[in-house]
């Protein structure tokens, strides 16, 4: 019987809650303005920290009424301000709350409120806008819909510390990509925000700093401007350096390091500048230590990975700073059974986000090992490193898988490691699995790595061939993504280099001459170059190899090409191309076709002469490019021999 009674009891409790909430909404419609004001104030007190109450009031239609009162000219400024405060409190609940507010067109109403002369009302509107715009469900574009909004926000920056804090926070959350950066930059963001870095308010300084980090990211125009900005007689980079000193709060150190990192990557600060080598890099390494919170370690490692990615000298310095390579190994052991975390909430949070640490470590290892052989060796010799990468390839998180593949790709640039560690751990197996079914961003890196594993000296080449790689790679050449087409054809080119005729015939059969012709007509220059490279490798034979007349489908690669006039015409076309590299690649193909010592060379030479190839060779033998000139003369020698 108790079970039967449970539902009505729960229903009655719910209706009681809704009834008490209904009372708050009803008071908003009272004809007496004073009672309405008191109702809004009581509602404000009722919703603070009470998500259930917030949800009830939204369901009961409080939002449209509050917005109506906020926009009514007859409403007192005090009432409008209290309405904005309640709406801000509702927005601090769940993401669904924010969606409900957006559906009621809260943003245009609040932006309209910013035109009021009353500072307290403006601050309440801005605080609410800040809460809404920092929610992940709010489209940033809503800030840029009306062209008058940004200049007005710039003008409001001078009104108070609160307007400065909220507006900078709105800007830093809504600046996503070059278009937004340009709008903010053109409306004087740099000049208007720079002086806030010396504000007496820590919150204002911090939000201004965050603004500069998002404005400078991958933006040379903003970065070049920032380098020369003076604030109280000091250049901005010097101010950023002061903000990343050890005595400053961690958040400030990290964000300053990001500003300097982004300015460096955008070309505004040299990589050998002291502010990078002696200040920014060591600060970011400090952030990777296990004393730091999880999110600080993640941000520190990812920012450092970005800073050192293109510069071998920074990679070397980072690799010997504070035992960084060993320090990163701790990212995989977190949280450990003897974790120092006593706060249960923090432990719960960290367990859910531990994958972010692994992702950050893979990213940083990838950057560290991008160029230097000794660093790669150190990384691979770090405890269980290859096992960790192999495990990372099959993690559920796409971001971790991508970072693991990137790390592996970086390490695969080492001839030594391809021959040893990669073979010992049979890395090709999980990689082939990744290639079967992955989003494009992973496919691009994984297929690029496969190119390295298919180099002739790689012990992985044979097992990869046996596991169906030819079909997989031929499939990639048909992708709409040019990067995947390049990698597919590049890997086939490596596969065909000094390969047995059977492999070459397999490639041609799987690829088909029709697809080969399509690739020779590709709009992407890299695809063309690699296709001509593949042709060269398919047409060349090892002198030590006995050329068998009938292999696989009864034709050699040379015969297949010679019987396909479309492909021959394409090669001829590229011999006369304006791009020297394409001319050279086409020359290699022709040289292989006419080489005297090989069977059938006379017939091939005759057919190519009839096509006008000899005339083109004579022209190219006069080329100002010495390489091209030599190759043409060498080819002509074959006709004279």
Residue 526, token pair as written in the block? 């890299």
Report the range of poorest mean pLDDT among 308-322, 469-483, 556-570.
556-570
3-state secondary structure 618-629: HHHCCCCCHHHH
Whether the per-residue pLDDT at 545 is higher than 90: the answer is no
**Reported confidence tier of residue 490, pLDDT bands at 50, 70, 90:** very high
Q: Can you spell out the DSSP letters for 322-382?
A: TTHHHHHHGGGG-S-TT-----HHHHHHHHHHHHHHHHHHHHHHHHHTSS-HHHHHHHHHS
Looking at residue 589, what is its pLDDT?
85
Q: What are phi and psi of 338, to 5 degrees?
A: -105, 40
| C-alpha to C-alpha distance for 177 and 182, rounded to whole angstroms | 9
pLDDT at 78 over 90: yes
pLDDT band at 509 (very low <50, low <70, confident <90, very high): confident
pTM for this predicted structure: 0.81
Distance CA 434, CA 443 (A): 8
Task: Please say whether the beta carbons of 118 and 84 come within 8 A.
Answer: no
pLDDT bracket for residue 336 (50, 70, 90) = low
Question: In this model, does residue 621 exceed pLDDT 90?
Answer: yes
Distance CA 526, CA 508 (A): 20
Give yes or no for residue 17 having a pLDDT over 70.
Answer: no
582 close to 574: Cβ distance less than 8 angstroms: yes
H/E stretch holding 234: strand 234-235
Q: Which two tokens stand for residue 378?
A: 């150190």
pLDDT score for 339: 52
Q: pLDDT value at position 9?
A: 35
Query: Mean pLDDT throughout 19-26?
Result: 84
Report the alpha-carbon distance of residue 386 to residue 408 in Å, rounded: 9
| Nearest Cα to Cα of residue 224 among 270, 160, 271, 267 | 267
Number of H helices, E strands in the chain: 41, 2
- Which segment of 58-67, 445-454, 475-484 scores lowest on mean pLDDT? 445-454
pLDDT band of residue 555 (cuts 50, 70, 90) is very low
341: pLDDT confidence band, cut at 50, 70 and 90? low
Helix axes 440-453, 482-496, angle to 10 degrees: 20
| Contact predicate 616/608, CB 8 Å | no
Whole-number Å distance between alpha carbons of 417 and 421: 5
pLDDT of 549 strictly over 70 = no
Tokens representing residue 69 in the block: 């009162």
Q: Are 123 and 157 in contact (CB under 8 A)?
A: no
| Cα radius of gyration (the chain) | 33
H or E stretch at 633: helix 626-640
pLDDT at 189: 97
Residue 207 has pLDDT above 50, yes or no: yes
Partner residues linked to 235 by β-bridges: 230
pLDDT beyond 50 at 547: no
Summary mean pLDDT of the chain: 89
* CA distance linking residue 295 with residue 301, whole number of Å: 10
Query: Is residue 7 pLDDT above 80, yes or no?
Result: no
Query: What's the DSSP call for residue 195?
Result: G
The rounded distance, in Å, linking the Cα atoms of 446 and 462 is 18
The whole-number pLDDT of residue 570 equals 85
For residue 178, pLDDT over 70 is answered with yes
Cβ count near 81 (within 10 Å):
21
Which sign, positive or negative, has the C-alpha torsion 265, 266, 267, 273?
negative
Query: Which two tokens mark 23?
Result: 């009372």
pLDDT at 473 over 90: yes
User: In this predicted model, what pLDDT tens digit does every residue of 98-154 receive, in sequence order?
Assistant: 999 999 999 999 999 999 999 999 999 999 999 999 999 999 999 999 999 999 999
Q: Which of 25-34, 97-106, 137-146, 327-336 has the lowest mean pLDDT?
A: 327-336
- pLDDT on residue 342: 64
Proportion of the chain above pLDDT 70, given as a percent: 93
Q: How far apart are CA 166 and CA 154, in angstroms?
A: 12
CB distance 226 to 263 below 8 Å: yes
The Cα 357–Cα 169 span in angstroms is: 26
CA distance 294 to 190: 32
């Amino acid at each position: 019987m108790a079970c039967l009674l449970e539902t009505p009891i729960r229903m009655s409790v719910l209706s009681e809650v809704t009834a008490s909430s209904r009372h708050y909404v009803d008071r908003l419609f009272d004809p007496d303005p004073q009672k309405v004001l008191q109702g809004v104030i009581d509602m404000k007190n009722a919703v603070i920290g009470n998500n259930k109450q917030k949800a009830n009031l939204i369901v009961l239609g409080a939002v449209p009424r509050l917005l109506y009162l906020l926009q009514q000219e007859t409403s007192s400024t005090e009432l409008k301000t209290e309405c904005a405060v309640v709406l801000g409190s509702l927005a601090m609940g769940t993401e669904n709350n924010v969606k409900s507010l957006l559906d009621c067109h809260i943003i245009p109403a609040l932006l309209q409120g910013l035109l009021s002369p009353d500072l307290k009302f403006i601050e309440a509107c801005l605080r609410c806008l800040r809460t809404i715009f920092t929610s992940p469900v709010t489209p940033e574009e809503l800030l840029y819909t009306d062209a008058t909004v940004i200049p007005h926000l710039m003008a409001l920056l001078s009104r108070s510390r609160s307007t400065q804090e909220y507006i900078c926070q709105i800007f830093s959350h809504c600046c996503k990509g070059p278009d937004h950066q340009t709008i903010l930059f053109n409306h004087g963001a740099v000049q208007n925000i720079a002086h806030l870095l010396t504000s007496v308010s820590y919150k204002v300084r911090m939000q201004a700093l965050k603004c500069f980090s998002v404005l400078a990211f991958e933006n040379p125009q903003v970065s070049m401007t920032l380098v020369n900005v003076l604030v109280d007689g000091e250049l901005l980079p010097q101010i950023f350096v002061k903000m990343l000193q050890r005595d400053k709060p961690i958040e400030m150190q990290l964000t300053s390091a990001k500003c300097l990192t982004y300015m460096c990557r955008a070309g505004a600060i040299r990589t050998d500048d002291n502010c990078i080598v002696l200040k920014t890099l060591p600060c970011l390494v400090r952030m990777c230590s296990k004393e730091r919170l999880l999110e600080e370690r993640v941000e520190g490692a990812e920012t450092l990975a970005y800073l050192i990615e293109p510069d071998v000298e920074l990679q070397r310095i980072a690799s010997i700073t504070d035992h960084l390579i060993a320090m990163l190994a701790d990212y995989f052991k977190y949280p450990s059974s003897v974790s120092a975390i006593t706060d249960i909430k923090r432990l719960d949070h960290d367990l859910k986000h531990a994958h972010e640490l692994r992702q950050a470590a893979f990213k940083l290892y990838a950057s560290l090992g991008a160029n230097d052989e000794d660093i790669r060796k150190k990384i691979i010799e770090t405890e269980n490193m290859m096992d960790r990468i192999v495990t990372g390839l099959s993690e559920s998180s796409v971001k971790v898988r991508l970072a693991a593949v990137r790390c592996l790709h970086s390490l695969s640039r080492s001839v030594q490691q391809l021959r040893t560690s990669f073979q010992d751990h049979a890395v090709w197996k999980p990689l082939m699995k990744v290639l079967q079914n992955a989003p494009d961003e992973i496919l691009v890196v994984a297929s690029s790595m496969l190119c390295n594993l298919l180099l002739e000296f790689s012990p992985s080449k044979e097992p990869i061939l046996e596991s169906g790689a030819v079909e997989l790679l031929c499939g990639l050449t048909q992708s709409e993504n040019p990067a995947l087409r390049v990698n597919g054809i590049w890997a086939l080119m490596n596969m065909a280099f000094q390969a047995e005729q059977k492999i070459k015939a397999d490639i041609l059969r799987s690829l088909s001459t029709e697809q080969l012709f399509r690739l020779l007509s590709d709009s992407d220059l890299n695809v063309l170059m690699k296709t001509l490279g593949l042709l060269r490798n398919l047409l060349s034979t090892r002198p030590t190899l006995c050329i068998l007349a009938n292999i696989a489908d009864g034709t050699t690669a040379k015969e297949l090409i010679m019987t396909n006039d479309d492909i021959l015409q394409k090669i001829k076309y590229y011999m006369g191309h304006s791009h020297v590299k394409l001319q050279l690649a086409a020359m290699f193909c022709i040289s292989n076709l006419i080489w005297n010592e090989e069977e059938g060379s006379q017939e091939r030479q005759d057919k190519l002469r009839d096509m006008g190839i000899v005339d083109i060779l004579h022209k190219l033998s006069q080329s100002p490019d010495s390489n091209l000139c030599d190759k043409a003369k060498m080819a002509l020698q074959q006709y004279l021999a």
